[in-house]
Amino acid sequence: MTIDLTDPVFTDETKAREHLEAIRWPDGPVCPHCGSIDKVYRLSGKSHRPGLIHCNGCDGSFTVTTGSVMESSHVPLNKWVLAFRLMASSKKGISAHQLHRTISVTYKTAWFMAHRIREAMRDAAPAPLGGEGAIIESDEAYWGSKDTDNASMKRRRKGKPGPGGKSKILTLVERGGRSRSLKMDDLRTETVHRVLRENASTKSRLMTDEGTAHNFEFASHEKVKHGAGEYARGDVTTNTVEGFFSVFKRGMRGTYQHCGEQHLQRYLDEFDFRYSTRHKPSPAQSPSAI
């Protein structure tokens, strides 16, 4: 969708604040400290910063950014709104360098904002995927340099690329629904089964490739045998989760290029967010990630 960069919410801080308030408080301000609705009032005058609201219930003050990833930031709100919009609508992500050029902030500020936005994209209270009659596809992937192990090993690898020294990822996709990706310490059978149990309803049909040990906890566990050239058998396939990995790896190689292992989960959360909200309407006047 085309973004109108002349929209007032992207160019005027007051309009951006009003926009954020309408999203966060559609029925009027709510105190984030005590939850009061009828004891809050706006403070005005030169001695108060724009958008400041006071609560007589707890004698606290707040703004629309209190408790959000924008709290305590000196970046104008209209730049935050545009950054949210760009990151939410870019299928393979937007680099910090591109962000700093587009919204006119320093590279360090753009990098800081991007990681704050990824934190906002994280599902803070994830509900189990799937359910009775639903299909869950699960697959593992490795991410990292083809030529080097983790930085701690500090040596060149020889031979063909493989999983050695790479970060391990497990992704679950609810067919037609959400995705959930996790950076894993290991991909042992018991670990994978535990993660599947914690993140997906066992009433679901589970579909994997032959690399996952059989899991009898789910309603059914069906596999495709890639080693034998099989990629679909009726509705049994892992093409959906492999499509997710395709977008993720293209974004990481083409857009982000360098990602420290300590930040990988945030990038996974970003790609999960865009995948899981892909069917939600995205009106031109409303940044979809806020």
Closest CA to 190 of 217, 220, 225, 208: 217
Centroid of chain to Cα 235: 28
pTM over 0.85: yes
Domains of the chain: residue spans and CATH: 135-258 (3.30.420)
What radius of gyration do the chain's Cα atoms show?
A: 22
Residue type, 280: K
Tokens of 64: 């629309």
- Give, for all 290 residues of the chain, the pLDDT tens digit: 567 888 999 999 999 999 999 999 999 999 999 999 999 999 988 889 999 999 999 999 999 999 999 999 999 999 999 999 999 999 999 999 999 999 999 999 999 999 999 999 999 888 999 999 999 999 999 998 664 444 444 444 444 455 667 999 999 999 999 999 999 999 999 999 999 999 999 999 999 999 999 999 999 999 999 989 999 999 999 999 999 999 999 999 999 988 888 999 999 999 999 999 988 765 444 444 44
Residue type, 166: K
The 10 Å Cβ neighbour count of residue 176 is: 9
